[in-house]
Amino acid sequence: MNSSEEIAVAGMSAGRSALRMGPAELVQAAAMARRFYLEGKSKIQIAEEFGVSRFKVARVLETALERDLVRIEIRVPAELDAERSDALRARYGLRHAVVVESPAEGDDESPDPENLGEVAADLLGELVTEGDVLGLAWGRSTIHMAAALDRLPPCTVVQLTGVYDAGTAERGSVEAVRRAAQVSGGEAHPIYAPMLLPDPATAAALRSQTGIARAFEYFDKVTVACVSIGSWEPGISTVHDMLSDTERAHYASLGVAAEMSAHLFDAEGRRVGRDLGERCITVEADRLRRIPEVVAIAGGQRKAAAIGAVLRSGLVTSLVTDRAAADYLLTESSPGTHPALDRKDPDGS
């Protein structure tokens, strides 16, 4: 029986509506319900035990629910919002959507809350299977996620982007890759290079270096990836913060609304400012789209619109977020299709 569900089977003290059943019916219904809900027996097994047809068993179980003889209560941990999670999954065609509590009032100006990373770590423990290749992109939330990992099947872990600042490599995405590999007992393929370079030629030269080239060779083998999302404003997008004022203004003029792994998106999920990618050490968008499972970890009101933009891009299949962002995503204009399910590029290219 699923530990997140509590099923109570009543007897002769059932609710008023159940008393309309005779005592023999009540006792039999309670016994059948106990076999089915608590002991996990099939309807065929119950039918054989009581000498009736399985259709009779099905009717008795249905009546037991209708007449309040059986009460089914679904419980999830208080920090998880099952209703919003399911609504968000259905709206965007996500494979998995997990909505957690937002930070306490007054804390929603901070970057992604650490509890997103903790929940994402548990989700990753479910999604990753032995032999997978796990890709981790730069981001505060992915770093929090890696720090919270306590179980992973044996898998290879590869870094999908350079680091925000080479001086923070040991405390950032490089350490996240090492941590995940340590937990899983698999190989680690970090990237010791900045995410953003001064020009395309420098970026190309770094990509050809042995260690970085080896990590890039794994990009096409990645089966599960974790990414972060940033809105185009100070402190919320590391790429935004790495650029000059002139460069920020240029990309803002193109309508950039969101950033993910150094890829920029407008409000409809179309990629803009593609020239920036030529200066970056990062997984290409086309490769991301081919990864079977891409989990985005992002939340907060300040990121809500950016999350919606990236979901429309078709690059992400699953999302870990909070109630503040989920409420926005559930009330903004409909994406029209299921981008996370279809994996289609809004540009058609």
Handedness of CA 87, 93, 99, 103 (dihedral sign): negative
The single residue listed with the structure tokens 């990836």 is 225
**DSSP assignment letter at 223:** S
- Please state the pTM of the whole predicted model: 0.76
Q: Which helix (H) or strand (E) holds 145?
A: helix 140-148
Amino acid at site 61: L
Asked if 97 and 296 touch (Cβ cutoff 8 Å), the reply is: no
**Could you tell me which of 156, 153, 157 has the C-alpha nearest to residue 173?**
157
176 Cα distance to chain centroid: 17
**Could you tell me which of 135, 192, 136 has the C-alpha nearest to residue 168?**
192
**Could you tell me which of 236, 229, 243, 228 has the C-alpha nearest to residue 302?**
236
Q: Which helix (H) or strand (E) holds 264?
A: strand 263-265
Strand partners, 228: 297
Q: Which residues contact 251 (CB under 8 A, 6 or more apart)?
A: 232, 243, 264, 272, 273, 276
Strand order in the sheet with 156-159: 96-100, 318-322, 293-297, 224-228, 133-136, 156-159, 188-189
Give CA separation, 63 vs 26, 56, 254, in Å.
Answer: 10, 11, 61
Q: Which residues contact 232 (CB under 8 A, 6 or more apart)?
A: 240, 248, 251, 252, 256, 257, 258, 259, 264, 306
Tokens of 35: 């076999």
What pLDDT is attached to residue 13? 41
Axis-axis angle for helices 43-50, 54-66 (nearest 10): 100
* Coil vs helix vs strand at 335: coil
Asked if 276 and 264 touch (Cβ cutoff 8 Å), the reply is: yes
Strand partners, 265: 258, 271
What pLDDT is attached to residue 171? 52
Q: Which helix (H) or strand (E) holds 225?
A: strand 224-228
How many other CB atoms are found less than 10 A from the CB of residue 261? 27
How many other CB atoms are found less than 10 A from the CB of residue 201? 11
CA dihedral 134, 135, 136, 137 (to 10 degrees): -170
pLDDT in single tens digits along all 349 residues of the chain = 344 444 555 543 444 444 456 677 788 888 898 899 888 899 999 999 989 999 999 999 988 888 878 877 666 565 788 889 999 999 999 999 999 987 665 444 555 666 888 899 999 999 999 999 999 998 888 888 999 999 999 999 999 999 875 444 445 778 999 999 999 999 999 998 899 999 999 999 999 999 899 999 999 999 999 999 999 888 788 888 888 899 999 999 999 999 999 999 999 999 999 999 899 999 999 999 999 999 999 998 889 999 999 999 999 999 999 999 999 999 987 776 777 777 777 876 5
